[in-house]
Structure 1
Amino acid sequence: MRLIHNMTTIAECPAADYSPANRAIKIVVIGAGGVGKTALVVRFLTRRFIGDYERNAGNLYSREVQVDGEQVSLQVQDTPGVEISDNGAVLPDHVSCFLQWADAVVLVYSVTDRRSFDLVPQLHQRLAQCSNGGGPPVVLLANKTDLLHMRCVDPQQGPLLAGTLGCAFYEVSASEGYSQVHGAFHRLCCQLAKQRPATPPAAEKRRPRSPNMQDLKRRFKQALSAKVRIVTSV
Structure 2
Amino acid sequence: MNNHQRSASGAKTPDVKLVVMGRMGVGKSALVVRYLTRRFIWEYDPTLEFSYKHQTLVDDDVVSMEILDTAGQLYGDNRRQWEGHVRWGDGFLLVYSVTDKQSFHDVGRMKEFLDEAKKPRNVTAVILANKMDLKHERCISTDEGEKLAQELSCGYFEGSALLGDGVISEAIEELCREVRRRKMMENRTRRRSSSQMAKQVFSRVLTKIYNS
Q: Shorter-normalised TM-score: what interval?
A: 0.7 to 0.9
> Which of 134, 153, 157 is the matching residue for 1:166?
153
Alpha-carbon spacing, 1:25–1:148, altered in 2? closer, same or farther (3 Å): same
What are the equivalent positions in structure 2 for 1:1-234 lying under 5 Å apart? 2-3=1-2, 12=3, 24-82=15-73, 89-90=75-76, 92-197=79-184
- Distance, in Å, in 2 between the alignment partners of 1:95 and 1:35 is 18
- Distance, in Å, in 1 between the alignment partners of 2:44 and 2:13 is 32
The answer to whether the 8 Å contact 2:30/2:40 transfers is: yes
Question: Match of 1:156, SS?
Answer: helix
Question: Match of 1:175, SS?
Answer: coil
Deviation at 1:21, TM superposition (A): 6.7
Question: Match of 2:15, SS?
Answer: strand
Range with greater deviation from structure 2 (179-188 or 159-168): 179-188
- Distance, in Å, in 2 between the alignment partners of 1:138 and 1:171 is 15
Q: Identity of paired residues, percent?
A: 35
Larger Rg over CA atoms: 2
Residue equivalent to 2:192? none
Q: Which residues of structure 2 form unaligned runs of 5+?
A: 5-10, 187-212
Deviation at 1:122, TM superposition (A): 0.9
Alpha-carbon spacing, 1:149–1:104, altered in 2? closer, same or farther (3 Å): same
- Distance, in Å, in 2 between the alignment partners of 1:109 and 1:187 is 18
Question: Match of 1:142, SS?
Answer: strand
How many aligned positions are there?
Answer: 178
More helix by share: 2
What TM-score results when the alignment is normalised by the length of structure 1?
0.69
Q: Which residues of structure 1 form unaligned runs of 5+?
A: 4-11, 14-19, 84-88, 200-234
The superposition leaves residues 70-100 of structure 1 with CA deviations (integer Å, 9 ceiling, x where unpaired) of: 33321000001316xxxxx436321221111
- Distance, in Å, in 2 between the alignment partners of 1:98 and 1:139 is 16
Once superposed, what is the RMSD of the aligned Cα atoms?
A: 2.2
Deviation at 1:101, TM superposition (A): 0.8
Deviation at 1:133, TM superposition (A): 4.0
Question: Which amino acid counterpart does residue 162 of structure 1 have in structure 2?
Answer: A
